[in-house]
Amino acid sequence: MTLAEVPNNTNSTNPFLILNYEPALESLGEDYYDEVAAAEFPLHALRWRNDALLPLLGLDAKAVTDEDFITAFGKFEGRKPLLALRYHGYQFGEYNPFLGDGRGFLYGQVRGVDGELYDFGTKGSGRTPYSRGGDGMLTLKGGVREVLAAEMLHAMGVRTSRCLSMVETGLSLWRGDEPSPTRSSVMVRLSQSHIRFGTFERLHYFRRPDLTKKLLDHVIEQYYQHLDSEQDKYALFYAELVQRVAELVAQWMAAGFCHAVLNTDNMSITGESFDYGPYAFIPNYDPYFTAAYFDYYRRYSYIHQPEICKWNLEALQEALKAVIPQTDMEAGLASFDEYYLAEYRSLMLKKLGFEQLSQPQADELLKATIEFLKHYPVSYHHFFADMATTFSSKWRDDASSILRDSEIGQSLGTSELFLNWSGIYHRILSDLTPEEIEKVAQTLARHNPKTMILRPVIESIWEPIVQEDNWQPFYELIQQIQSGN
């Protein structure tokens, strides 16, 4: 990838600057945001451009230069207004009225070729009225980590925002949780919406039901268009949000992903995953794995994620009850567990190679799988990846051949829990035709990536960046993620 710097002038032919930006959120008025200015940086080195996203914007990657990215998303020339959004939120269960976009802004909103509205949102672009004494900046490592998280989750089928660009900005930042000084970056995120649960919670805090209704009408009009003409659209909206969030957290759980900071200000009103901080993919099936070092009571540990998302949805009811009857929202939330379990079961079965099984078979197999993974120091991701790479039609005829060619099978193949699991798996396979066995192999390969960004992997690509300014391992890792290798 070419690193580039551009002269301090705006190129009117820049493809990003001539997109048809829509003032969707801006049109709601200044009760929801503050206009801000972007920071000026001493350096603009393009470290990441996500060409895979450009066709969605109607752009040809070959026609977009590195200089175009830097002008638009590093120097932020030629685009106004830039909007820091206002919101509050429950942080670790405690309400915080002193939040808002403190190091980012809404750069603009554009309609994709699919007809959907998308946000360009920044991270690390400087101070705003909500910086609360912070510098408004993003560490370079933080940018690298978010790029990796978004691409990995997208590759695993998780509904997520993605990073469009990352520019190194030449500042030295001081952070208590990593060696300082450290390098800086500014990132642009492409997502469906930056409206959060906390956006509504702020309006309730200030007792503005009129603004709540106005915002809710906007959300339904833009992101739940199929409900807009329904008589009970508000109740239907909340019920669908419950389903989206339940399915999203099921996707995280199947992917072995721990978000780390599931505060209500980090929950999107569209049910999309975004804003990754100290996340981690679990190394092994430890239910109480906790990604954030400051989560002392393990509130946001891996196993707690479904109940926390449900809690966040329940907390949102307080903000929405000015518009939606409480009984309607309670009825909508009552289906959370059903949606979650159905999605989780479906996704885990696919990781095991099956598009569908009878519920008794599915429950028996999933219980045995989790019991095995929970009680042995087996890599969660390697277990499924090894199933995909070593699967053989022989598994149908001989239970002892299951994972025989894997290090896991060789080391634990005689353990009681492994024999119980492999016996159940073999029994299911024995009922399948050769054609169905081939479909199992294809499903395993499709749903279990070989590459996984566990923390040691991230550190292994970060070290060359720090020591030698060598970005090649980072680009190679992204290519492996995107290609599924």
In DSSP terms, which residues pair with 138 in a beta bridge? 185
Radius of gyration of the chain, Cα coordinates, nearest whole angstrom: 23
Task: Tell me what the mean pLDDT of segment 86-96 comes to.
Answer: 97
446: Cβ contacts below 8 Å, ≥ 6 apart: 350
Per-residue pLDDT, 6: 36
Helices (H) and strands (E) in the chain, counts: 15, 12
Element (H, E) at 242: helix 233-255
pLDDT score of 148 more than 90 = yes
- CB 139 within 8 Å of CB 168: no
Per-residue pLDDT, 302: 98
Map residue 437 onto helix, strand or coil.
helix
pLDDT band at 2 (very low <50, low <70, confident <90, very high): very low
Task: Tell me what the mean pLDDT of segment 340-365 comes to.
Answer: 97
pLDDT band at 11 (very low <50, low <70, confident <90, very high): low
pLDDT score of 10 more than 50 = no
Task: Please spell the DSSP secondary structure of 41-95, one letter per residue.
Answer: -S--EEEEE-GGGGGGGT--GGG--HHHHHHHHTS-TT---EEEEP--EEETTEE
**Beta strands per DSSP E along 99-178:** 106-111, 117-123, 138-139, 162-173
For the chain, the average pLDDT equals 95
Per-residue pLDDT, 230: 96
Region of 45 please: left (phi>0), alpha (psi -120 to 50) or beta. beta
287's tokens: 């239910």
Higher pLDDT: 277 or 168? It is 168
The residue behind tokens 């990796």 is 148
pLDDT band at 3 (very low <50, low <70, confident <90, very high): very low
Per-residue pLDDT, 4: 37
Q: CA of 120: how far to CAs of 79, 128, 316, in Å?
A: 12, 17, 25
**How big is the CA angle at 240 (ends 365 and 238), to the nearest 5 degrees?**
130
Dihedrals phi, psi of 189, to nearest 5 degrees: -105, 135
The yes-or-no answer on residue 295 being catalytic is no
pLDDT score of 105 more than 90 = yes
Query: Which range has the worst mean pLDDT, 1-15, 27-41, 44-58, 143-157?
Result: 1-15
What one-character DSSP code corresponds to residue 395?
Answer: G
- Picking from 443, 425, 432, the residue whose alpha carbon sits closest to that of residue 368 is 425
- CB 24 within 8 Å of CB 68: no
Task: Tell me what the mean pLDDT of segment 61-90 comes to.
Answer: 97
Q: Model confidence over 385-440: pLDDT tens digits?
A: 999 999 999 999 999 999 999 999 999 989 999 999 999 999 999 999 999 999 99
Q: Model confidence over 432-476: pLDDT tens digits?
A: 999 999 999 999 999 999 999 999 999 999 999 999 999 999 999
Task: Tell me what the mean pLDDT of segment 204-208 comes to.
Answer: 98
Task: Please spell the DSSP secondary structure of 270-311, one letter per residue.
Answer: TS-B---SS-EE-SB--TT----TT-TT-TT-GGGHHHHHHH
Provide the percentage of residues in the chain whose pLDDT is more than 70.
98
Task: Tell me what the mean pLDDT of segment 178-205 comes to.
Answer: 95
Map residue 404 onto helix, strand or coil.
coil
Q: Model confidence over 277-319: pLDDT tens digits?
A: 899 999 999 999 999 999 999 999 999 999 999 999 999 999 9
Question: Which residue among 68, 101, 119, 265 is the active-site one?
Answer: 265
Dihedrals phi, psi of 130, to nearest 5 degrees: -115, 20
- CB 190 within 8 Å of CB 59: no
